[in-house]
Structure 1
Amino acid sequence: MSFYRGMSCGNVSITGDGGMPITAYVAKPEGKGPFPGVVLIHHLPGWSEFYIETTRRFAHHGYVAICANLYERAGAGHPDDVAAKVRAEGGIPDAQMVGDTAGAVAWMRGQPEHNGKVGLFGSCSGGRHAVIYASQRKDVDACADLWGGRVVMGPDELNAKTPVAPIAMTKDLSCPLIGIFGNDDRAPNPDQVNQHEAELRKHGKDHEFHRYDGAGHGFFYWHRPLYRPEQAMDAWGKLLAFFGKHLA
Protein backbone atom coordinates (compact mmCIF):
# COMPACT_ATOMS: atom_id res chain seq x y z
CA MET A 1 0.00 0.00 0.00
CA SER A 2 1.01 3.61 -0.39
CA PHE A 3 1.50 5.60 2.81
CA TYR A 4 -0.82 7.24 3.50
CA ARG A 5 -3.67 6.21 1.25
CA GLY A 6 -6.62 8.51 0.71
CA MET A 7 -10.13 7.18 1.12
CA SER A 8 -13.76 8.05 0.59
CA CYS A 9 -16.35 7.41 3.31
CA GLY A 10 -20.08 7.73 3.70
CA ASN A 11 -23.42 6.04 4.26
CA VAL A 12 -25.16 3.82 1.73
CA SER A 13 -28.46 1.94 1.76
CA ILE A 14 -28.37 -1.83 1.36
CA THR A 15 -31.11 -4.45 1.19
CA GLY A 16 -31.35 -6.22 4.52
CA ASP A 17 -33.31 -9.17 5.84
CA GLY A 18 -36.79 -9.41 4.38
CA GLY A 19 -36.00 -6.73 1.80
CA MET A 20 -35.80 -3.94 4.38
CA PRO A 21 -33.50 -1.01 3.52
CA ILE A 22 -30.61 -0.83 5.99
CA THR A 23 -28.10 1.99 6.42
CA ALA A 24 -24.44 1.00 6.24
CA TYR A 25 -21.21 2.94 6.64
CA VAL A 26 -18.67 2.44 3.87
CA ALA A 27 -14.99 3.33 3.53
CA LYS A 28 -13.12 2.80 0.25
CA PRO A 29 -9.41 3.23 -0.47
CA GLU A 30 -8.38 5.73 -3.09
CA GLY A 31 -7.78 4.17 -6.51
CA LYS A 32 -9.31 1.63 -8.85
CA GLY A 33 -8.14 -1.47 -6.99
CA PRO A 34 -8.87 -4.28 -7.12
CA PHE A 35 -9.24 -4.29 -3.34
CA PRO A 36 -10.35 -7.11 -1.03
CA GLY A 37 -13.41 -6.47 1.12
CA VAL A 38 -14.20 -6.62 4.83
CA VAL A 39 -17.75 -6.73 6.21
CA LEU A 40 -17.83 -5.59 9.83
CA ILE A 41 -20.54 -6.95 12.15
CA HIS A 42 -20.89 -4.56 15.07
CA HIS A 43 -21.14 -5.47 18.73
CA LEU A 44 -24.02 -5.08 21.19
CA PRO A 45 -23.03 -1.49 22.01
CA GLY A 46 -24.34 -0.95 18.51
CA TRP A 47 -23.36 0.90 15.37
CA SER A 48 -20.82 2.76 17.44
CA GLU A 49 -17.92 5.14 16.95
CA PHE A 50 -15.49 2.25 17.41
CA TYR A 51 -17.02 0.36 14.48
CA ILE A 52 -17.20 3.44 12.24
CA GLU A 53 -13.55 4.17 12.98
CA THR A 54 -12.55 0.54 12.44
CA THR A 55 -14.30 0.57 9.06
CA ARG A 56 -12.01 3.44 8.08
CA ARG A 57 -9.02 1.61 9.52
CA PHE A 58 -9.57 -1.29 7.14
CA ALA A 59 -9.81 1.15 4.22
CA HIS A 60 -6.49 2.66 5.28
CA HIS A 61 -5.02 -0.83 5.01
CA GLY A 62 -6.35 -1.30 1.49
CA TYR A 63 -9.76 -2.90 1.98
CA VAL A 64 -13.20 -1.83 0.84
CA ALA A 65 -15.07 -1.96 4.16
CA ILE A 66 -18.74 -1.84 5.11
CA CYS A 67 -20.52 -1.90 8.47
CA ALA A 68 -24.31 -2.22 8.39
CA ASN A 69 -26.53 -0.86 11.16
CA LEU A 70 -28.04 -4.09 12.44
CA TYR A 71 -30.17 -2.13 14.91
CA GLU A 72 -31.90 0.05 12.30
CA ARG A 73 -35.27 -1.51 13.09
CA ALA A 74 -35.00 -0.27 16.69
CA GLY A 75 -35.28 3.33 15.53
CA ALA A 76 -33.11 6.41 15.32
CA GLY A 77 -31.14 8.00 18.13
CA HIS A 78 -27.75 7.92 19.80
CA PRO A 79 -26.11 4.50 19.30
CA ASP A 80 -25.90 3.97 23.08
CA ASP A 81 -29.64 4.56 23.50
CA VAL A 82 -30.58 2.36 20.55
CA ALA A 83 -28.28 -0.40 21.81
CA ALA A 84 -29.83 -0.19 25.29
CA LYS A 85 -33.26 -0.72 23.75
CA VAL A 86 -32.02 -3.71 21.74
CA ARG A 87 -30.30 -5.18 24.80
CA ALA A 88 -33.49 -4.83 26.86
CA GLU A 89 -35.34 -6.75 24.16
CA GLY A 90 -32.84 -9.62 24.31
CA GLY A 91 -30.80 -8.70 21.24
CA ILE A 92 -31.67 -9.30 17.61
CA PRO A 93 -32.62 -12.65 16.05
CA ASP A 94 -29.71 -14.58 14.59
CA ALA A 95 -31.68 -15.14 11.39
CA GLN A 96 -32.26 -11.40 10.96
CA MET A 97 -28.54 -10.74 11.44
CA VAL A 98 -27.72 -13.28 8.73
CA GLY A 99 -30.15 -11.61 6.34
CA ASP A 100 -28.78 -8.12 7.01
CA THR A 101 -25.17 -9.28 6.75
CA ALA A 102 -25.95 -11.06 3.49
CA GLY A 103 -27.06 -7.68 2.18
CA ALA A 104 -23.71 -6.17 3.12
CA VAL A 105 -21.83 -9.04 1.48
CA ALA A 106 -23.92 -8.67 -1.68
CA TRP A 107 -23.22 -4.92 -1.74
CA MET A 108 -19.50 -5.65 -1.43
CA ARG A 109 -19.50 -8.17 -4.25
CA GLY A 110 -21.23 -5.63 -6.47
CA GLN A 111 -18.47 -3.01 -6.21
CA PRO A 112 -16.39 -2.59 -9.38
CA GLU A 113 -13.13 -2.09 -7.45
CA HIS A 114 -13.62 -5.25 -5.36
CA ASN A 115 -11.31 -8.24 -5.98
CA GLY A 116 -13.93 -10.92 -5.25
CA LYS A 117 -12.73 -11.81 -1.74
CA VAL A 118 -14.72 -10.97 1.42
CA GLY A 119 -13.73 -11.27 5.06
CA LEU A 120 -15.94 -10.92 8.14
CA PHE A 121 -14.86 -9.01 11.26
CA GLY A 122 -16.87 -9.05 14.47
CA SER A 123 -16.25 -8.54 18.18
CA CYS A 124 -18.30 -9.49 21.24
CA SER A 125 -21.81 -10.31 19.91
CA GLY A 126 -20.47 -9.45 16.44
CA GLY A 127 -17.83 -12.16 16.79
CA ARG A 128 -20.53 -14.67 17.62
CA HIS A 129 -22.56 -13.42 14.68
CA ALA A 130 -19.57 -13.70 12.33
CA VAL A 131 -19.14 -17.36 13.29
CA ILE A 132 -22.83 -18.02 12.66
CA TYR A 133 -22.78 -16.30 9.27
CA ALA A 134 -19.65 -18.13 8.11
CA SER A 135 -21.27 -21.40 9.16
CA GLN A 136 -24.62 -20.81 7.47
CA ARG A 137 -23.45 -19.10 4.29
CA LYS A 138 -20.74 -19.87 1.77
CA ASP A 139 -20.14 -16.40 0.32
CA VAL A 140 -17.23 -15.26 2.54
CA ASP A 141 -13.57 -16.21 2.36
CA ALA A 142 -12.28 -15.55 5.90
CA CYS A 143 -13.78 -14.86 9.31
CA ALA A 144 -12.47 -13.02 12.39
CA ASP A 145 -14.10 -13.71 15.77
CA LEU A 146 -12.90 -11.32 18.47
CA TRP A 147 -13.94 -12.62 21.91
CA GLY A 148 -17.38 -13.66 20.67
CA GLY A 149 -19.47 -14.67 23.66
CA ARG A 150 -22.14 -17.38 23.62
CA VAL A 151 -20.50 -19.43 20.89
CA VAL A 152 -20.75 -22.17 23.49
CA MET A 153 -24.30 -22.12 24.88
CA GLY A 154 -26.22 -24.25 27.34
CA PRO A 155 -29.73 -25.51 26.55
CA ASP A 156 -31.19 -22.89 28.89
CA GLU A 157 -29.67 -20.10 26.75
CA LEU A 158 -31.40 -21.15 23.54
CA ASN A 159 -34.58 -19.36 22.51
CA ALA A 160 -36.51 -18.18 19.46
CA LYS A 161 -33.92 -15.50 18.67
CA THR A 162 -30.90 -17.73 19.29
CA PRO A 163 -32.18 -21.24 18.51
CA VAL A 164 -28.86 -22.99 17.85
CA ALA A 165 -25.49 -22.60 19.59
CA PRO A 166 -22.82 -21.48 17.12
CA ILE A 167 -20.48 -24.26 18.26
CA ALA A 168 -23.08 -26.76 17.01
CA MET A 169 -22.62 -25.31 13.51
CA THR A 170 -18.86 -25.93 13.42
CA LYS A 171 -19.07 -28.76 10.90
CA ASP A 172 -20.57 -26.29 8.40
CA LEU A 173 -17.96 -23.53 8.81
CA SER A 174 -17.20 -22.50 5.24
CA CYS A 175 -13.94 -20.53 5.51
CA PRO A 176 -10.76 -20.08 7.60
CA LEU A 177 -11.34 -18.59 11.05
CA ILE A 178 -9.13 -16.46 13.31
CA GLY A 179 -10.02 -16.11 16.97
CA ILE A 180 -8.69 -13.36 19.26
CA PHE A 181 -9.28 -13.81 23.00
CA GLY A 182 -8.24 -12.42 26.37
CA ASN A 183 -7.47 -14.99 29.03
CA ASP A 184 -9.11 -12.82 31.69
CA ASP A 185 -12.42 -12.81 29.81
CA ARG A 186 -15.47 -14.43 31.38
CA ALA A 187 -17.64 -14.54 28.25
CA PRO A 188 -16.10 -16.44 26.59
CA ASN A 189 -13.94 -17.83 29.35
CA PRO A 190 -10.80 -19.85 28.52
CA ASP A 191 -12.62 -23.16 28.93
CA GLN A 192 -15.24 -22.12 26.37
CA VAL A 193 -12.52 -20.99 23.96
CA ASN A 194 -10.87 -24.38 24.39
CA GLN A 195 -14.18 -26.14 23.70
CA HIS A 196 -14.63 -24.14 20.52
CA GLU A 197 -11.12 -24.88 19.31
CA ALA A 198 -11.50 -28.58 20.11
CA GLU A 199 -14.62 -28.68 17.93
CA LEU A 200 -12.80 -26.91 15.09
CA ARG A 201 -10.00 -29.48 15.29
CA LYS A 202 -12.51 -32.33 15.41
CA HIS A 203 -13.99 -31.19 12.10
CA GLY A 204 -10.64 -30.34 10.51
CA LYS A 205 -11.42 -26.63 10.11
CA ASP A 206 -8.71 -24.16 9.09
CA HIS A 207 -8.30 -21.87 12.09
CA GLU A 208 -5.88 -20.02 14.31
CA PHE A 209 -6.68 -18.95 17.86
CA HIS A 210 -4.63 -16.36 19.77
CA ARG A 211 -5.00 -15.95 23.51
CA TYR A 212 -3.60 -13.02 25.50
CA ASP A 213 -2.63 -12.91 29.16
CA GLY A 214 -3.40 -9.70 31.00
CA ALA A 215 -6.35 -8.96 28.70
CA GLY A 216 -10.06 -9.41 29.17
CA HIS A 217 -13.19 -8.80 27.15
CA GLY A 218 -12.97 -5.99 24.61
CA PHE A 219 -9.27 -5.26 24.92
CA PHE A 220 -9.23 -3.50 21.50
CA TYR A 221 -11.61 -0.81 22.76
CA TRP A 222 -9.35 2.25 23.07
CA HIS A 223 -12.14 4.33 24.66
CA ARG A 224 -12.65 2.03 27.66
CA PRO A 225 -10.55 1.10 30.71
CA LEU A 226 -10.32 -2.50 29.47
CA TYR A 227 -8.07 -1.38 26.56
CA ARG A 228 -4.73 -3.19 26.52
CA PRO A 229 -2.50 -1.48 23.94
CA GLU A 230 0.34 -4.02 23.80
CA GLN A 231 -1.94 -7.01 23.37
CA ALA A 232 -4.20 -5.12 20.95
CA MET A 233 -1.29 -4.07 18.73
CA ASP A 234 -0.01 -7.64 18.53
CA ALA A 235 -3.48 -9.00 17.78
CA TRP A 236 -4.10 -6.38 15.07
CA GLY A 237 -0.89 -7.53 13.40
CA LYS A 238 -2.03 -11.14 13.44
CA LEU A 239 -5.50 -10.18 12.19
CA LEU A 240 -4.20 -8.15 9.24
CA ALA A 241 -1.74 -10.91 8.34
CA PHE A 242 -4.62 -13.41 8.37
CA PHE A 243 -6.76 -11.27 6.09
CA GLY A 244 -3.76 -10.55 3.90
CA LYS A 245 -3.22 -14.27 3.44
CA HIS A 246 -6.81 -15.23 2.67
CA LEU A 247 -8.20 -12.16 0.91
CA ALA A 248 -5.37 -10.84 -1.24
Structure 2
Amino acid sequence: MPSSDITYTTRNNETFTGYYTHPNGTGPFPGILLITAIFGTDDEMKELADAWAADGFVVSVPDIFWRVLPGPTADREMAFDRYGKFDAEQGMLDIEDLIHDLKARPECNGKVAILGFCFGGRYAHLAAARLGVDAAGSYHGTKIGEHLDETPNVTCPVSFHFGGVDPAAPMEEVEAIQAAYANHANAEIVVYPDAAHNFAMPYKPGYQEEVAIASRAAVLRCFRSM
Protein backbone atom coordinates (compact mmCIF):
# COMPACT_ATOMS: atom_id res chain seq x y z
CA MET A 1 0.00 0.00 0.00
CA PRO A 2 1.24 3.54 -0.71
CA SER A 3 1.94 5.09 2.69
CA SER A 4 3.77 8.03 4.21
CA ASP A 5 4.19 10.16 7.28
CA ILE A 6 2.09 13.31 6.98
CA THR A 7 1.61 16.64 8.74
CA TYR A 8 -1.75 17.98 9.86
CA THR A 9 -2.62 21.61 10.55
CA THR A 10 -5.22 22.59 13.14
CA ARG A 11 -7.69 25.47 12.90
CA ASN A 12 -5.16 27.49 14.92
CA ASN A 13 -2.28 26.68 12.54
CA GLU A 14 -0.63 24.24 14.95
CA THR A 15 1.00 21.26 13.29
CA PHE A 16 1.43 17.63 14.24
CA THR A 17 2.18 14.39 12.44
CA GLY A 18 0.60 11.07 11.61
CA TYR A 19 0.56 8.11 9.26
CA TYR A 20 -1.35 7.97 5.97
CA THR A 21 -2.02 4.93 3.81
CA HIS A 22 -4.34 4.22 0.89
CA PRO A 23 -5.07 1.62 -1.77
CA ASN A 24 -3.25 1.35 -5.03
CA GLY A 25 -4.93 3.28 -7.83
CA THR A 26 -6.37 6.74 -8.14
CA GLY A 27 -9.66 6.26 -6.32
CA PRO A 28 -11.23 8.17 -4.77
CA PHE A 29 -11.91 5.86 -1.84
CA PRO A 30 -13.87 6.11 1.42
CA GLY A 31 -11.80 7.22 4.38
CA ILE A 32 -11.10 5.94 7.88
CA LEU A 33 -9.83 8.15 10.69
CA LEU A 34 -8.13 5.69 13.06
CA ILE A 35 -7.78 6.75 16.69
CA THR A 36 -5.14 4.61 18.34
CA ALA A 37 -4.78 2.86 21.66
CA ILE A 38 -2.78 4.59 24.39
CA PHE A 39 0.50 3.40 22.87
CA GLY A 40 0.06 5.74 19.89
CA THR A 41 0.93 5.43 16.23
CA ASP A 42 3.30 2.51 16.54
CA ASP A 43 4.16 -0.23 14.04
CA GLU A 44 1.17 -2.29 15.15
CA MET A 45 -1.27 0.53 14.39
CA LYS A 46 0.44 1.18 11.06
CA GLU A 47 0.12 -2.48 10.07
CA LEU A 48 -3.55 -2.48 11.02
CA ALA A 49 -4.06 0.72 9.00
CA ASP A 50 -2.36 -0.85 5.99
CA ALA A 51 -4.77 -3.79 6.23
CA TRP A 52 -7.72 -1.41 6.02
CA ALA A 53 -6.12 0.28 3.03
CA ALA A 54 -5.86 -3.14 1.37
CA ASP A 55 -9.63 -3.40 1.82
CA GLY A 56 -10.17 -0.21 -0.14
CA PHE A 57 -10.00 2.66 2.37
CA VAL A 58 -7.85 5.75 2.73
CA VAL A 59 -6.61 5.64 6.32
CA SER A 60 -5.39 8.56 8.43
CA VAL A 61 -3.71 7.70 11.75
CA PRO A 62 -2.89 10.87 13.70
CA ASP A 63 -0.48 11.14 16.59
CA ILE A 64 -3.50 11.88 18.75
CA PHE A 65 -1.43 12.46 21.91
CA TRP A 66 0.67 15.21 20.33
CA ARG A 67 -0.50 17.86 22.80
CA VAL A 68 0.46 15.75 25.84
CA LEU A 69 3.43 13.62 24.82
CA PRO A 70 3.96 13.00 21.10
CA GLY A 71 5.09 9.81 19.48
CA PRO A 72 4.50 6.12 20.06
CA THR A 73 5.59 4.51 23.32
CA ALA A 74 5.87 0.95 24.59
CA ASP A 75 6.20 2.20 28.18
CA ARG A 76 2.88 1.34 29.87
CA GLU A 77 3.37 3.84 32.72
CA MET A 78 4.05 6.64 30.25
CA ALA A 79 1.14 5.59 28.05
CA PHE A 80 -1.32 5.54 30.95
CA ASP A 81 -0.03 8.86 32.22
CA ARG A 82 -0.74 10.67 28.96
CA TYR A 83 -4.07 8.85 28.71
CA GLY A 84 -5.03 10.40 32.04
CA LYS A 85 -3.85 13.86 30.98
CA PHE A 86 -5.62 13.85 27.61
CA ASP A 87 -8.18 16.67 27.28
CA ALA A 88 -11.26 15.05 25.72
CA GLU A 89 -12.89 18.27 24.55
CA GLN A 90 -9.70 19.60 22.96
CA GLY A 91 -9.25 16.17 21.45
CA MET A 92 -12.66 16.43 19.81
CA LEU A 93 -11.67 19.76 18.23
CA ASP A 94 -8.56 18.09 16.85
CA ILE A 95 -10.64 15.17 15.58
CA GLU A 96 -13.00 17.55 13.82
CA ASP A 97 -9.98 19.12 12.08
CA LEU A 98 -8.67 15.66 11.21
CA ILE A 99 -11.98 14.70 9.60
CA HIS A 100 -11.89 17.86 7.48
CA ASP A 101 -8.29 17.08 6.53
CA LEU A 102 -9.15 13.55 5.43
CA LYS A 103 -12.19 14.62 3.42
CA ALA A 104 -10.07 17.20 1.57
CA ARG A 105 -7.39 14.73 0.50
CA PRO A 106 -7.66 13.85 -3.20
CA GLU A 107 -7.67 10.10 -2.54
CA CYS A 108 -10.80 10.40 -0.33
CA ASN A 109 -14.31 10.43 -1.78
CA GLY A 110 -15.70 12.51 1.10
CA LYS A 111 -17.09 9.60 3.11
CA VAL A 112 -15.33 9.14 6.45
CA ALA A 113 -15.66 6.48 9.12
CA ILE A 114 -13.97 6.67 12.50
CA LEU A 115 -12.35 3.62 14.06
CA GLY A 116 -11.17 3.49 17.65
CA PHE A 117 -8.95 1.00 19.44
CA CYS A 118 -9.23 1.00 23.26
CA PHE A 119 -8.70 4.70 24.08
CA GLY A 120 -10.06 5.57 20.64
CA GLY A 121 -13.44 3.95 21.24
CA ARG A 122 -14.70 6.90 23.26
CA TYR A 123 -13.92 9.19 20.34
CA ALA A 124 -15.57 6.92 17.79
CA HIS A 125 -18.79 7.24 19.79
CA LEU A 126 -18.40 10.99 20.24
CA ALA A 127 -17.56 11.61 16.58
CA ALA A 128 -20.67 9.67 15.60
CA ALA A 129 -22.75 11.79 17.98
CA ARG A 130 -21.24 15.20 17.25
CA LEU A 131 -19.34 15.34 13.98
CA GLY A 132 -21.51 13.72 11.33
CA VAL A 133 -19.17 10.86 10.40
CA ASP A 134 -20.58 8.28 8.02
CA ALA A 135 -19.84 5.21 10.18
CA ALA A 136 -18.18 4.36 13.50
CA GLY A 137 -16.38 1.28 14.74
CA SER A 138 -14.59 0.35 17.94
CA TYR A 139 -12.65 -2.53 19.46
CA HIS A 140 -12.55 -2.84 23.28
CA GLY A 141 -13.32 0.88 23.57
CA THR A 142 -13.00 2.59 26.94
CA LYS A 143 -15.02 5.40 28.57
CA ILE A 144 -17.85 5.24 26.02
CA GLY A 145 -20.17 4.90 28.99
CA GLU A 146 -19.39 8.46 30.08
CA HIS A 147 -21.23 9.87 27.06
CA LEU A 148 -24.30 7.72 26.58
CA ASP A 149 -26.55 10.75 26.90
CA GLU A 150 -25.31 11.71 23.42
CA THR A 151 -26.33 8.41 21.81
CA PRO A 152 -29.66 9.78 20.47
CA ASN A 153 -27.60 12.10 18.23
CA VAL A 154 -25.96 9.15 16.45
CA THR A 155 -27.50 8.50 13.02
CA CYS A 156 -24.71 6.62 11.20
CA PRO A 157 -24.07 2.85 11.23
CA VAL A 158 -22.15 1.74 14.32
CA SER A 159 -20.22 -1.47 15.08
CA PHE A 160 -18.70 -1.68 18.60
CA HIS A 161 -17.04 -4.83 19.96
CA PHE A 162 -16.19 -5.77 23.55
CA GLY A 163 -14.63 -8.61 25.52
CA GLY A 164 -16.75 -10.22 28.20
CA VAL A 165 -13.84 -10.35 30.66
CA ASP A 166 -12.27 -6.98 29.88
CA PRO A 167 -11.72 -4.97 33.09
CA ALA A 168 -11.14 -1.79 31.05
CA ALA A 169 -14.69 -2.01 29.67
CA PRO A 170 -16.66 -3.82 32.39
CA MET A 171 -19.87 -5.63 31.48
CA GLU A 172 -21.99 -3.19 33.48
CA GLU A 173 -20.79 -0.42 31.18
CA VAL A 174 -21.15 -2.54 28.04
CA GLU A 175 -24.73 -3.43 28.98
CA ALA A 176 -25.45 0.29 29.40
CA ILE A 177 -24.00 0.90 25.93
CA GLN A 178 -26.20 -1.86 24.50
CA ALA A 179 -29.25 -0.34 26.15
CA ALA A 180 -28.40 3.16 24.90
CA TYR A 181 -28.10 1.90 21.32
CA ALA A 182 -31.06 -0.51 21.50
CA ASN A 183 -33.33 1.71 19.39
CA HIS A 184 -30.66 2.58 16.82
CA ALA A 185 -31.55 0.77 13.61
CA ASN A 186 -27.97 0.35 12.38
CA ALA A 187 -25.98 -0.37 15.53
CA GLU A 188 -24.38 -3.63 16.62
CA ILE A 189 -22.86 -3.81 20.10
CA VAL A 190 -21.22 -7.23 20.28
CA VAL A 191 -19.75 -9.04 23.28
CA TYR A 192 -17.32 -11.96 22.97
CA PRO A 193 -17.76 -13.79 26.30
CA ASP A 194 -14.23 -15.11 26.76
CA ALA A 195 -12.31 -12.18 25.27
CA ALA A 196 -10.20 -9.81 27.33
CA HIS A 197 -8.77 -6.39 26.56
CA ASN A 198 -6.71 -5.95 23.37
CA PHE A 199 -8.35 -8.92 21.63
CA ALA A 200 -8.03 -7.09 18.28
CA MET A 201 -4.37 -6.09 18.63
CA PRO A 202 -2.02 -8.84 17.42
CA TYR A 203 1.10 -7.69 19.28
CA LYS A 204 -0.55 -7.33 22.69
CA PRO A 205 -1.30 -9.84 25.44
CA GLY A 206 -5.00 -10.63 25.21
CA TYR A 207 -5.06 -10.96 21.42
CA GLN A 208 -7.51 -13.61 20.24
CA GLU A 209 -7.25 -14.34 16.55
CA GLU A 210 -10.73 -15.78 16.11
CA VAL A 211 -12.36 -12.84 17.87
CA ALA A 212 -10.16 -10.35 16.01
CA ILE A 213 -11.22 -11.82 12.67
CA ALA A 214 -14.92 -11.87 13.55
CA SER A 215 -14.99 -8.33 14.95
CA ARG A 216 -13.00 -6.94 12.05
CA ALA A 217 -15.36 -8.55 9.53
CA ALA A 218 -18.30 -6.89 11.26
CA VAL A 219 -16.70 -3.45 11.22
CA LEU A 220 -15.75 -3.94 7.57
CA ARG A 221 -19.40 -4.65 6.71
CA CYS A 222 -20.40 -1.53 8.61
CA PHE A 223 -17.84 0.65 6.85
CA ARG A 224 -18.72 -0.75 3.44
CA SER A 225 -22.30 0.37 4.02
CA MET A 226 -21.25 4.04 3.89
How high is the TM-score relative to the length of structure 1? 0.83
User: Unaligned regions of 5+ residues in structure 1, if any?
Assistant: 1-6, 153-164
Separation (CA, whole Å) in 1 of partners of 2:136 and 2:179 = 18
Aligned residue type for 2:81: A
Aligned residue type for 2:80: R
Separation (CA, whole Å) in 1 of partners of 2:18 and 2:71 = 15
Give yes or no for contact 2:139–2:200 (8 Å, CA) kept in 1. no
Residues 37 and 167 of structure 1, relative CA distance in 2, 3 Å threshold: same
Look up the match of 1:160: none
Separation (CA, whole Å) in 2 of partners of 1:230 and 1:241 = 17
Residues 174 and 20 of structure 1, relative CA distance in 2, 3 Å threshold: farther
Separation (CA, whole Å) in 2 of partners of 1:76 and 1:229 = 30
Deviation at 1:39, TM superposition (A): 0.5
Residue 132 in 1 paired to residue 126 in 2?
yes
Write out aligned runs for 1:35-184 (5 A): 35-75=29-69, 79-81=73-75, 84-85=77-78, 87-88=80-81, 90-138=84-132, 140-152=133-145, 165-184=146-165
Look up the match of 1:33: 27
Look up the match of 2:210: 230
Structure 1 stretches of at least 4 aligned residues deviating more than 6 Å after TM superposition: none
Separation (CA, whole Å) in 1 of partners of 2:11 and 2:175 = 33
Residues 216 and 108 of structure 1, relative CA distance in 2, 3 Å threshold: same
Residues 182 and 77 of structure 1, relative CA distance in 2, 3 Å threshold: closer
Query: What per-residue deviation string (whole Å, max 9, x for no partner) do you get for residues 23-63 of structure 1?
Result: 01000111111211100011112222221111111111111
SS in 2 for 1:74: coil
Deviation at 1:78, TM superposition (A): 5.1
Give yes or no for contact 2:39–2:79 (8 Å, CA) kept in 1. no
SS in 2 for 1:210: strand
User: Which residue, 205, 209, 218 being the options, matches 2:189?
Assistant: 209
Deviation at 1:146, TM superposition (A): 1.5
216-225 or 88-97: bigger deviation:
88-97
Look up the match of 2:220: 240
Aligned residue type for 1:220: A
SS in 1 for 2:182: helix
SS in 2 for 1:241: helix
SS in 2 for 1:29: coil
User: Which residue, 165, 168, 173 being the options, matches 1:187?
Assistant: 168
Give 1 or 2 for the bigger CA radius of gyration.
Answer: 1
How many residue pairs match? The answer is 225
User: Unaligned regions of 5+ residues in structure 2, if any?
Assistant: none
Deviation at 1:240, TM superposition (A): 1.0
Give yes or no for contact 2:28–2:107 (8 Å, CA) kept in 1. yes
Separation (CA, whole Å) in 1 of partners of 2:204 and 2:78 = 21
Aligned residue type for 1:88: D
Deviation at 1:16, TM superposition (A): 3.1
Separation (CA, whole Å) in 2 of partners of 1:74 and 1:214 = 34
Give yes or no for contact 1:128–1:151 (8 Å, CA) kept in 2. yes
